[in-house]
């Protein structure tokens, strides 16, 4: 069984629904919850209100991510904000040599997805012409790793030296610092180390762009610095939590610097939002996905979700989803304050790679998983496997088909094998990978966790659990600093 949208985006849930799986009766018994959740999503779209949602400071807070696909005057993505992104695009193209995007969690993961889809693995070794004038692009701040940060600085310094000796000009670096809260340790420590190192190099010119909460009454640290130093600024808008910000200036700042099609990305999200307004669960991909996964977890104990796209450049998509699912639904208390310890545990997997590592567990381990596949139906520049060694029968047998076809045969075989052994699995199928279909997929997943928050009666838009270690870490760092100074 499958739900196919006009665009061709398909949710195939054959191996998750039916006899021995989530049943029609389960969905029918769930109809009141479906109606309530559908209503709650409409209220959220229209007013930003989500029952029980509070900000980090315990204040009622609106939720606006569903506004992002629509470019309208006075909304989060307005003609004005699109124009500013276009200006960023024009200002980096054929001028900036390298962009470093600094951020972590929601200020990194979606950006990495856009980068991988648009640029692939070898972007930074391509010539400027092959990059169509767009700069090299690196990420930093998504760890506090001295070796990787030093390697990045060395790499930029040596490119600067080559530019100086060959072209007799300075090397232009743009640091885009992304942090909603404006002071995250991982992001800011890398920013300071990298900025300090690069500005000491006379062959390098550094520009800084800040992407943070735009509130001027209580500015974030990054906002204050941007105002003090006159750095160009972009917004992480109020009411959009980090893990939903790929559709805002956060993700779109990366898009602008690599030539990713922002209009098509938002267009895809918009078409998906329309589909997710449908009150008929069988025609609403987000509601259907959330309902099947919720029931699979609550009634059948399948409370682990393995997100398994097929194709090397889509692992980051799985990692983006991990944060979305973990921070949105992993909650100790429900909206009434009752302890529920809810949440499906997300797992990153990649096909075919992890068929040679995790699949043993998926196939025979505990019956506690749903394996969610993602498939690209048509690959640009698909390669035919040639018959190079006709005398080797095993190799001759796999020749003549394309790698894209072989990949899909591997995925289907995995799905069939899992299904034959009571292992729940499902498939999101994209006609091709481009900005439009990526927008459809990411938006559907974001909307799906919003629906599941309603089903499970947990606040899908806060993340109080991440404060626990932060409360310990701050004083610990101060103690360490004091003890070092005393020596
Ligand atoms: O954008 P910021 O404020 O630097 O936060 C980065 C990430 O850290 C978290 O707050 C978790 O610590 C995420 O929710 C967020 O996406």
Read off the pLDDT band of 56 (50, 70, 90): confident
CA 19 to chain centre: 34
* Alpha carbons 226 and 452: distance in angstroms, whole number: 38
| CATH code assigned to 77-236 | 3.40.50.10490
pLDDT for res 315: 98
Half-sphere exposure of 205 (CA within 13 A, CB side): 9
Tokens of residue 442, six digits: 């990411």
CATH superfamily for domain 2-60+265-466: Glucose-6-phosphate isomerase like protein; domain 1 (3.40.50.10490)
% of the chain surpassing 90 pLDDT: 97
Tens digits of per-residue pLDDT, 66-86? 999 999 998 999 999 999 999
Residue in 218, 356, 393, 484 annotated catalytic: 356
pLDDT tens digit string along 135-160? 999 999 999 999 999 999 999 999 99
Residues counted in the chain: 487
Q: Report pLDDT for 108.
A: 98
* Statement: residue 278 has pLDDT above 90: yes
- Are the C-beta atoms of 308 and 349 separated by less than 8 Å? yes
Q: Is the CB of 213 under 6 A from ligand 1?
A: no
Res 460: pLDDT: 97
Mutate to test the pocket of ligand 1, among 61, 141, 180, 246 (most ligand atoms within 8 A of CB): 180
pLDDT digits (tens, 9 = 90+) for 83-131: 999 999 999 999 999 999 999 999 999 999 999 999 999 999 999 999 9
Residue 183 Cα: closest atom of ligand 1: 4
Q: Taking residues 445-473, report their average pLDDT.
A: 95
Rounded mean pLDDT, 288-301 = 98
- Strand ranges of the sheet holding 136-140, from the earlier edge strand across to the other edge: 136-140, 98-102, 171-178, 204-212, 233-235
Q: Rounded to an integer, what distance in angstroms lies between the CA atom of residue 313 and that of residue 123?
A: 12
Q: What is the pTM of this model?
A: 0.97
Buried b (16+ CB within 10 A) or exposed e, 394-422: eeeeeeeeeebeebbeebeebbeebbeee
Tokens standing for residue 141: 């701040």
Q: From 447, 456, 450, select the one nearest 343 (Cα to Cα).
A: 456
Residue 247 to residue 7: CA distance in whole angstroms: 20
C-alpha distances (whole Å) from 119 to each of 43, 64, 70, 204, 380 are 38, 29, 26, 25, 14
Q: Is the CB of 105 under 6 A from ligand 1?
A: yes
The predicted-structure confidence for 14-23, as pLDDT tens digits, reads as follows 999 999 999 9
Average pLDDT over all residues of the chain: 97
Strand residues in 328-450 grouped as ranges (E): 331-333, 339-342, 345-348, 369-378, 424-432
Q: How far apart are CA 342 and CA 310, in angstroms?
A: 29
* Strand intervals (E) in 134-224: 136-140, 171-178, 204-212
Residues 441/318, Cβ–Cβ less than 8 Å: no
- For 260-298, letters b (16+ CB in 10 Å) and e give bbbeebbbbbbbbbebbbbeebeebbbbbbbbbbbbbbe
User: Band of the pLDDT at 231, cuts 50, 70, 90?
Assistant: very high
% helix, strand, coil for the chain, step of 5: 50, 15, 35
Q: How much is the pLDDT for 127?
A: 98
Atom 4 of ligand 1: nearest residue by CA position = 179
Can you give the pLDDT at residue 196?
A: 98
Answer yes or no: 150 catalytic: no
- Confidence grade of residue 487 (pLDDT, cut at 50, 70, 90): confident
**What is the model's pLDDT at position 57?**
84
Residue 327 annotated in active site: yes
Would you say residue 58 has pLDDT above 90?
A: no
Find, among 404, 364, 398, the residue nearest to 380 by Cα.
404
ipTM surpassing 0.85, yes or no? yes
What six digits make up the tokens of 475?
Answer: 């004083």
Cα–Cα dist 411/373, whole Å: 8
Neighbour-count burial for 445-459, b at 16+ CB within 10 Å, e otherwise: bbbbbbbbbbbbbbb
Of 105, 176, 214, 215, best ligand 1 pocket probe by most atoms within 8 Å of the beta carbon: 105
Each domain of the chain, given as residue ranges in start order, spans: 2-60+265-466, 77-236
Q: Which two tokens stand for residue 91?
A: 């200002």
Judge whether 2-60+265-466 and 77-236 match in fold. Answer: yes
Distance 225 CA to ligand 1 centre (A): 19
Active site residue 223: no
Helix (H, G, I), strand (E, B) or coil at 444: helix
Closest C-alpha residue for ligand 1 atom 11: 466
pLDDT tens readout for residues 406-420: 999 999 999 999 999
């Amino acid at each position: 069984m499958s739900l196919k949208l006009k665009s061709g985006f398909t949710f195939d849930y054959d191996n998750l629904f039916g006899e021995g799986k989530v049943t029609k009766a389960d969905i029918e018994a769930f109809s009141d919850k479906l109606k309530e959740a559908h209503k709650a999503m409409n209220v959220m779209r229209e007013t930003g209100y989500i029952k029980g949602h509070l900000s980090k400071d315990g204040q009622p807070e609106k939720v606006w991510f569903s506004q992002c696909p629509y470019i309208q005057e006075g909304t989060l993505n307005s003609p004005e904000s699109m124009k500013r992104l276009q200006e960023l695009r024009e200002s980096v193209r054929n001028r900036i040599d390298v962009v470093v995007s600094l951020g972590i969690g929601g200020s990194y993961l979606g950006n990495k997805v856009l980068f991988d889809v648009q640029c692939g693995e070898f972007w930074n070794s391509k010539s400027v012409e092959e990059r169509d004038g767009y700069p090299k692009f690196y990420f930093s701040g998504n760890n506090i790793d001295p070796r990787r940060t030093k390697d990045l600085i060395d790499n930029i310094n040596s490119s600067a030296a080559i530019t100086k000796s060959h072209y007799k000009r300075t090397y232009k670096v743009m640091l885009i610092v992304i942090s909603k809260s404006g002071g995250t340790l991982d992001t800011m420590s890398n920013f300071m180390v990298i900025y300090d190192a690069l500005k000491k190099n006379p062959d390098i010119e550094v520009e800084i762009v800040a992407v943070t909460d735009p509130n001027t009454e209580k500015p974030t640290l990054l906002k204050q610095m941007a105002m003090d130093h006159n750095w160009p600024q972009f917004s992480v808008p109020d009411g959009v939590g980090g893990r939903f910000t790929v559709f805002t200036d956060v993700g779109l700042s990366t898009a602008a610097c690599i030539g990713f099609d922002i209009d098509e990305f938002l267009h895809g999200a918009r078409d998906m939002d329309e589909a997710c307004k449908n009150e008929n669960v069988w025609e609403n991909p987000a509601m259907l996905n959330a309902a099947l996964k919720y029931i699979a977890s609550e009634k059948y104990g399948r409370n682990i979700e393995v997100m398994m796209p097929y194709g090397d450049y889509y692992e980051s998509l799985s990692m983006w989803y991990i944060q979305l699912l973990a921070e949105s639904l992993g909650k100790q208390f429900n909206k009434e304050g009752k302890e529920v310890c809810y949440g499906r545990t997300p797992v990153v997997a990649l096909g075919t790679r992890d068929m040679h590592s995790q699949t043993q567990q998926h196939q025979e381990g505990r019956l506690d998983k749903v394996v969610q596949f993602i498939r690209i139906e048509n690959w640009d520049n698909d390669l035919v496997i040639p018959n190079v060694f006709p005398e080797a029968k095993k190799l001759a047998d796999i020749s003549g088909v394309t790698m894209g076809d072989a990949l899909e045969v591997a995925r289907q075989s995995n799905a069939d094998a899992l299904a034959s052994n009571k292992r729940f699995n499902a498939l999101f199928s994209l006609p091709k990978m481009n900005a439009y279909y990526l927008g459809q997929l990411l938006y559907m997943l974001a909307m799906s966790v919003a629906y599941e928050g309603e089903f499970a009666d947990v606040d899908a838009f806060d993340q109080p659990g991440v404060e626990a270690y932060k409360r310990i870490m701050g004083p610990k760092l101060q103690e360490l600093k004091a003890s070092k100074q005393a020596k």
